[in-house]
Amino acid sequence: MDYHISASNLKDFWSCNKRYQYRITSARASKPTIYMTYGKIVHEGIEIFETEGKSMEQITEWSLEEWNSDNAARDSFLGKIPKPPRSFKNMYRSYEEKIYPNLTHKGAIIEKLFKIPFDESRNIYVVGKMDRIEDLGVFDWKSGAKPPSAHDLQDVQFYLYRWAHNKLYGQHPEGIHYGHLASGKLYNIEVKPTLVDDLEVLLDKTAEVMYNGWQDEEARPGTGFPRIKGYQCNRCPFQGICDRELYESDSRRIR
Ligand code: SF4
């Protein structure tokens, strides 16, 4: 088995071990929110614009079809497809008119997937996907309505991309940029040396604890990744499977 560490499963793991395990073993049980579905479609729409040269009108139309088919396919679908939380058209227009002209397009790589060996003796890899790389650096697109907070601009995701860029190309990126699609603004990530050190420690510790979790899970199922119930459950896409398994496990004990 390969063990993957990504920005999302790093955060999952440290907020709730079980949530991390579900993401690895039961991804299909995930119930994305409408915001997650919307963000996924917008990212794909921008990729199509960049790689297939389609017009924004065509991509908007495609996005609405994707939205309808994604929502219709959900088992929570109750006969009414919700409206997208934001306009696809405005989001794409903002990208095309405000962000696109500020890119150099030199050496642009769209949706760069990476899988970097971290500890080959234990099959541990750091994985992820950068929305765009070019000579100006790494770009990440965000489809939220609100502009980023100071904390958003220090997300571990950006430090992981910087680390990954160095491993892939032997140098740090020229810059790391948070692209706020709704406003068409680009925010530069100010890299803090202490957080660079923290990431190195975090990767070492996570690799160790995750790996041990999988070993414990194999030796005694149910012991590798304990639940951490709390406020984080409110936004957890695995609430359904988690609550069901918890109920079934308790029912077996009571009998
Ligand atoms: S619902 Fe809560 S306890 Fe269950 S996996 Fe999600 S975060 Fe963890």
Centre of ligand 1 from the C-alpha of residue 10, in Å: 15
Question: In testing the pocket of ligand 1, which one of 11, 232, 244 has its CB within 8 Å of the most ligand atoms?
Answer: 232
C-alpha 154 to ligand 1 mean position (Å): 25
- List pocket residues of ligand 1, CB cut-off 6 Å: 16, 18-19, 22, 227-229, 232-233, 236, 238-239, 242
Q: Which atom of ligand 1 is nearest to the CA of 15?
A: 7
pLDDT for 203 beyond 90: yes
**pLDDT tens-place string over residues 78-89:** 667 889 999 999
Q: Are strands 176-180 and 137-142 parallel, antiparallel or unpaired?
A: parallel
The number of the ligand 1 atom at minimal distance from the alpha carbon of 239 is 1
Distance CA 174, CA 136 (A): 5
pLDDT at 75 over 60: no
**Centroid of ligand 1 to alpha carbon of 236 (angstroms):** 6
State the closest ligand 1 atom to the C-alpha of 233, by its place in the atom list counted from 1: 2
Write down the pLDDT at residue 1. 87
Q: Residue 212: exposed, middle, or buried by beta-carbon count in 10 A (0-12, 13-18, 19+)?
A: exposed
User: What is the reported pLDDT for 66?
Assistant: 94
Residue ID of nearest Cα to ligand 1 atom 7: 233
Nearest CA to ligand 1 atom 4: 242
Q: Are 47 and 110 in contact (CB under 8 A)?
A: yes
Residue nearest to atom 5 of ligand 1 (CA): 19
- Calculate the alpha carbon distances from 180 to 24, 98, 204, 240 in Å: 29, 10, 31, 31
Ligand 1 atom closest to the Cα of residue 230 is 2
pLDDT at 21 over 80: yes
Can you tell me which atom of ligand 1 is nearest the CA of 16?
8
Looking at the CA of residue 228, tell me the nearest atom of ligand 1: 3
d(CA 81, CA 37) in angstroms, rounded, equals 13
- 148 CA distance to ligand 1 middle (Å): 26
pLDDT digits (tens, 9 = 90+) for 88-105: 999 999 999 999 999 999
Burial degree of 169 (CB within 10 A; 0-12, 13-18, 19+): exposed
pLDDT tens for each residue of 155-171: 999 999 999 999 999 99
CA–CA dist 24, 19 (Å, integer): 9
For 114, the 3-state DSSP assignment is strand
**How far, in Å, is the centroid of ligand 1 from the Cα of 186?**
34
Nearest one of 245, 161, 199, 243 to 14, comparing CA atoms: 199
Q: How confident is the model at residue 131 (pLDDT cuts 50, 70, 90)?
A: very high
At 188, give phi and psi (nearest 5°).
Answer: -85, 135
Say which amino acid occupies 152.
Answer: D
Confidence (pLDDT) at 88: 96
pLDDT band of residue 48 (cuts 50, 70, 90) is very high
In the predicted structure, residue 76 carries a pLDDT above the cut 70: no
